[in-house]
Amino acid sequence: MKKKKIFISVGEISADNYAAELIKLLPQYEWIGITGPKMRKAGCKTIEDLENLSVVGITEVIPKYFEIKKAFKKAVSELENGVDLLIVVDFPGFNLKLLKEAKKRGIKTVYFIAPQVWAWGKKRIPKIAEYTDLLISIWPFEKEIYKDYIGIDFRVEYVGHPLLDIVKTEETEQSFKQKLGISSHKKIFGLLPGSRENEINMILPDMLKAADLIQRVYKNFEFVIPATPNVENLIRNKVKDFPNIPVKIATNKEFSHPSYEVMNSSIFSIITSGTATLEAAIIGNPFIIVYKVSEITYLLGKILVKIPFIGLPNIVAGEEVVKELIQDECNPVNISNAALQYLSNKDLYEKMKNDLRVKVKEKLGKPGALKRAAQVIDRFLNQEIKKK
């Protein structure tokens, strides 16, 4: 019997983690899509690598416009060839259009990890409901947001947050240092600039300048940067400009999950806003959140974003558990001062550790979200539903 075919579309490295686990949990289906490295390793055929598409911001998307447009045409062509289900993960500018194309062709649709319409983009809610048969939610409050649209043609299933299943480490601090050639007496300090080229270009130089200031106070620190394959060379080139800073780069040549190992072994980290901040909160070692984009993107964001924080741990907690340094505040002096404040104050440091556990991690639900999501998808794909 021929396997049913699922097309899956992701546009972020973080989504690659979730999608790869779904693929492993549902091996009875044929998988094809826009993929990341972990999805490809899990057996998903690719029509385009997400590393060529991942971008954030308004002006930042312009250089990749034609690549994104070409990828969209390839995806629509694959839908035209015939698939049984389309699953999209976040990446709304691209994926909402793809959902619309699937609906035109009578293909079942699933949105796994919907756009954060509770932060901005509420105008997207009617379109998400119109083009999606099943929305698999990772936030407990999302069902309420979509309640006016839920019915026979649009369902919302809450499964919990998949990061509780994904965030795992394998190394001890000692083995981590050994693999990177770091002396055992050194303390690890994490620098996590992100996985997009524009983030590296915009934020990493400020992180490295802050590291230079920090090492003047703490001379036994070794700074470690995790690098995904798509930005490893770019990061290495940036680091060359700072020969006086002791920096090591952790990659998937040494570790299954370089960023998790860096977070876990670091006494403190500086992390670019995004999924990595929630991963760090789950691991539980203190950090600060930084972010910087082009001025146009920032000004538009200020108009559109309707919540007081941009860091996911703070959004989950409903208060500033982790210090945020955004745009003009994201500069070497502010970054180093904020880090030194926690490193020099044990009470403040321990308070953040406790807040990350109680106010963030414990609010994310119970482990098993990906298994529950896979079960929901399996049932949905194999049942007859009324088409819109």
pLDDT at 185: 95
Q: Does the residue 167 lie in any domain?
A: no
Q: What sign does the dihedral 5-13-101-80 (CA atoms) show?
A: negative
CA neighbor of 25 nearest in space, from 344, 383, 379, 371 = 371
Q: What does the pLDDT look like over 51-82, one tens digit per residue?
A: 887 655 444 456 677 888 999 999 999 999 99
Residues 356 and 376 placed together within one structural domain of the fold: no
Tell me the mean pLDDT in the region 156-175. Answer: 94
The residue count of the chain comes to: 388
pLDDT at 296: 74
Query: Exposed e or buried b for every residue in 309-333, given b needs 16+ CB within 10 A?
Result: bbbbbbbbbeeebbbbbbbeebbbe
Q: Is the pLDDT confidence value at 246 over 80?
A: yes
Residues 42 and 114 placed together within one structural domain of the fold: yes
Q: pLDDT band at residue 2, thresholds of 50, 70 and 90?
A: confident
Residues 135 and 48 placed together within one structural domain of the fold: yes
Q: How many domains does the chain have?
A: 2
pLDDT at 65: 77
Q: pLDDT band at residue 388, thresholds of 50, 70 and 90?
A: very low
CA neighbor of 264 nearest in space, from 360, 327, 176 = 176
pLDDT at 61: 55
Q: Does the residue 38 lie in any domain?
A: yes
Written as six digits, the tokens of 340 are: 């030194």
Residues 198 and 141 placed together within one structural domain of the fold: no
Q: What does the pLDDT look like over 254-275, one tens digit per residue?
A: 999 999 999 999 999 999 999 9
Average pLDDT, the chain: 91
pLDDT at 4: 97
pLDDT at 305: 62
Q: Does the residue 197 lie in any domain?
A: yes
CA distance 39 to 18: 9
CA distance 155 to 312: 25
pLDDT at 200: 95
Q: Does the residue 388 lie in any domain?
A: no
Tell me the mean pLDDT in the region 273-279. Answer: 94
Residue 336 CA: distances (Å) to CA of 224, 226, 244, 280, 288 = 16, 19, 17, 19, 10
Q: Is the pLDDT confidence value at 120 over 70?
A: no
CA distance 269 to 209: 14
Q: Is the pLDDT confidence value at 47 over 90?
A: yes
pLDDT at 58: 46
Q: Is the pLDDT confidence value at 123 over 90?
A: no
Pick 285 or 230 by higher pLDDT: 285
Residues 141 and 249 placed together within one structural domain of the fold: no
The CATH number given to whatever domain includes residue 133 is 3.40.50.2000
Q: pLDDT band at residue 386, thresholds of 50, 70 and 90?
A: very low
Residues 154 and 243 placed together within one structural domain of the fold: no
How much of the chain, in percent, has pLDDT values that exceed 70? 91
Q: Does the residue 122 lie in any domain?
A: yes
pLDDT at 51: 81
CA distance 325 to 344: 19
Q: What does the pLDDT look like over 292-325, one tens digit per residue?
A: 976 676 666 665 566 678 899 999 998 999 999 9
Q: Is the pLDDT confidence value at 182 over 80?
A: yes
Residues 270 and 352 placed together within one structural domain of the fold: yes
Residues 279 and 335 placed together within one structural domain of the fold: yes
How much of the chain, in percent, has pLDDT values that exceed 90? 77
Residues 276 and 252 placed together within one structural domain of the fold: yes
Q: What does the pLDDT look like over 200-231, one tens digit per residue?
A: 999 999 999 999 999 999 999 999 999 999 89
Residues 232 and 153 placed together within one structural domain of the fold: no
Q: pLDDT band at residue 117, thresholds of 50, 70 and 90?
A: confident
Query: What are the residues facing 158 on neighbouring strands?
Result: 137
Tell me the mean pLDDT in the region 357-381. Answer: 95
pLDDT at 139: 87
Q: Does the residue 168 lie in any domain?
A: no
Q: Does the residue 282 lie in any domain?
A: yes
Residues 360 and 211 placed together within one structural domain of the fold: yes
Q: Does the residue 387 lie in any domain?
A: no
Domain that holds residue 82: 5-160+368-381
Residues 226 and 148 placed together within one structural domain of the fold: no
Helices 197-215 & 332-343 angle (0-180, nearest 10): 60
Tell me the mean pLDDT in the region 81-90. Answer: 95
Q: Is the pLDDT confidence value at 90 over 90?
A: no
CA distance 344 to 267: 12
